[in-house]
């Protein structure tokens, strides 16, 4: 079932072309925020233990210890998040873990100003309320933006995408003889694209659906193939794809050689 996309949620380039980007989901966003929150609390606890040890050792007096406590809060909850986001270009320990990065709502890179606003509001919505306000805010908008994102004009963009499998069809041995005499005309671009997509996704399809789609695609491709080999539809589609790929490669090579010869003649003249 397709999910309708609100046009207002699209990222547009300068030419008003929609850019295909995806925000980090709510659960992953919450997981990344929890990791960052634990890091902030961890740094604060270490700073507190260090201040207590220095106070007991007589290095810090009571007034200086209070100043150190305030400084520890600022460093742990404000300076640390800002430094990490600026240094890692919109990323932090939690965002690295979930594959996200903070960017502007128009898809551009976030800067110091955005990190500063997010960190200041993060003290309220993340650390003072243990993420309560951030969860409530993120649960009710399409991009899982917390309050700091809404004010700074940012959101968490997914940057970790699965690697595309390398799928290069190879001519089946059963079609070696057919390939010597086959005449495969140029397929319509839409049909060729559908065949290519089917061959890439076929191993993950249900056998019955796989066979039905292969049969339907071969029926559409039949007018462009002569003769049609007596092989299963999917093998035939592989053979058609490989044959067209090889012939198009040879045509490009011939065109390059002709261009080189023409260029050489012009230079000689």
Question: What's the confidence (pLDDT) of residue 5?
Answer: 39
Question: What's the confidence (pLDDT) of residue 117?
Answer: 93
Is pLDDT at 111 greater than 70 in this prediction?
A: yes
168 within domain boundaries: no
The number of folded domains in the chain is 2
Name, in order, each residue with C-beta under 8 angstroms of 133's C-beta and a sequence gap of 6 or more: 124, 125, 126, 146, 147
Burial 66-83 (b: 16+ CB within 10 A, else e): eebeeebbeebbbebbbe
C-alpha atoms less than 13 angstroms from C-alpha of 3 in its C-beta half-sphere: 3
Angle in degrees, CA 108, 110, 111, rounded to 5: 130
Is residue 120 located within the same domain as residue 231?
A: no
Which has more pLDDT, 195 or 252?
195
Rounded distance, CA 73 to CA 63, Å? 16
Is pLDDT at 59 greater than 90 in this prediction?
A: no
Is pLDDT at 18 greater than 50 in this prediction?
A: no
Is residue 79 located within the same domain as residue 153?
A: yes
164 within domain boundaries: no
Last residue of a domain, one of 135, 158, 181: 158
CA distances to 34, 157, 264 from 20, rounded to whole Å, are 28, 11, 44
Question: What's the confidence (pLDDT) of residue 217?
Answer: 93
Last residue of a domain, one of 158, 193, 228: 158
Closest CA to 82 of 32, 134, 133, 119: 119
Is residue 21 located within the same domain as residue 96?
A: yes
2 within domain boundaries: no
Sign of CA dihedral 132, 137, 142, 148: negative
pLDDT digits (tens, 9 = 90+) for 217-250: 999 999 998 888 889 999 999 989 888 888 878 7
pLDDT digits (tens, 9 = 90+) for 148-203: 899 999 988 888 655 545 566 788 888 888 888 888 888 888 888 899 889 888 88
Is residue 16 located within the same domain as residue 143?
A: yes
Question: What's the confidence (pLDDT) of residue 55?
Answer: 81
Question: What's the confidence (pLDDT) of residue 160?
Answer: 62
Angle in degrees, CA 115, 119, 122, rounded to 5: 135
Is residue 177 located within the same domain as residue 154?
A: no
Is residue 122 located within the same domain as residue 31?
A: yes
Rounded distance, CA 217 to CA 235, Å? 12
Range of the domain at 32: 9-158
Is residue 152 located within the same domain as residue 54?
A: yes
Give helix 80-87 / helix 112-122 axis angle, nearest 10°.
150
Question: What's the confidence (pLDDT) of residue 17?
Answer: 38
Is residue 95 located within the same domain as residue 206?
A: no
4 within domain boundaries: no
Closest CA to 156 of 104, 193, 221: 104
165 within domain boundaries: no
pTM of the model: 0.52
95 within domain boundaries: yes
Is residue 177 located within the same domain as residue 103?
A: no
13 within domain boundaries: yes
Rounded distance, CA 2 to CA 203, Å? 23
Is pLDDT at 118 greater than 90 in this prediction?
A: yes
Is residue 88 located within the same domain as residue 186?
A: no
Question: What's the confidence (pLDDT) of residue 9?
Answer: 46
Rounded distance, CA 264 to CA 269, Å? 9
Is pLDDT at 20 greater than 80 in this prediction?
A: no
Q: How many residues does the chain have?
A: 269
Q: What is the mean pLDDT of the chain?
A: 81
Rounded distance, CA 168 to CA 192, Å? 14
Rounded distance, CA 148 to CA 85, Å? 14
Strands (E), 34-171: 100-104, 154-158
Question: What's the confidence (pLDDT) of residue 261?
Answer: 76
Is pLDDT at 213 greater than 90 in this prediction?
A: yes
Instruction: State the average pLDDT over residues 69-95.
Output: 89
Question: What does the DSSP 8-state code read for residue 99?
Answer: T
Question: What's the confidence (pLDDT) of residue 53?
Answer: 85
Is residue 183 located within the same domain as residue 150?
A: no
Is residue 147 located within the same domain as residue 189?
A: no
163 within domain boundaries: no
Last residue of a domain, one of 100, 131, 158: 158
């Amino acid at each position: 079932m397709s999910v309708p996309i609100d046009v207002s949620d699209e990222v547009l380039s300068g030419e008003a072309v929609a850019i295909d980007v995806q925000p980090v989901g709510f659960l992953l966003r919450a997981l990344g925020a929890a990791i960052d929150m634990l890091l902030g609390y961890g740094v604060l606890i270490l700073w507190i233990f260090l201040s207590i040890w220095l106070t007991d050792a007589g290095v810090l007096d009571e007034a200086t210890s209070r100043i150190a406590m305030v400084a520890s809060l600022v460093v742990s909850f404000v300076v640390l998040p800002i430094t990490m986001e600026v240094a890692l270009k919109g990323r932090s320990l939690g965002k690295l873990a979930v594959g996200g990065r903070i960017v502007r709502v128009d898809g551009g890179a976030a800067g110091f100003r955005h990190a500063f606003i997010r960190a200041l509001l993060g003290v309220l919505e993340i650390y003072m309320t243990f993420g309560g306000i951030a969860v409530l805010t993120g649960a009710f908008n399409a991009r899982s933006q917390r309050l700091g994102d809404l004010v700074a004009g940012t959101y968490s963009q997914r940057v970790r995408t699965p690697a595309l499998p390398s799928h290069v069809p190879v001519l089946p041995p059963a079609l070696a003889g057919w390939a010597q005499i086959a005449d495969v005309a140029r397929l319509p671009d839409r049909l060729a694209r559908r065949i290519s997509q089917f061959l890439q996704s076929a191993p993950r399809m249900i056998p019955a659906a796989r066979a039905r789609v292969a049969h339907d695609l071969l029926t559409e491709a039949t007018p462009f193939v002569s003769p049609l080999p007596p092989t299963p539809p999917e093998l035939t589609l592989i053979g058609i794809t490989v044959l067209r790929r090889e012939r198009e490669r040879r045509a490009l090579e011939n065109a390059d050689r002709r261009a080189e010869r023409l260029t050489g003649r012009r230079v000689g003249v």
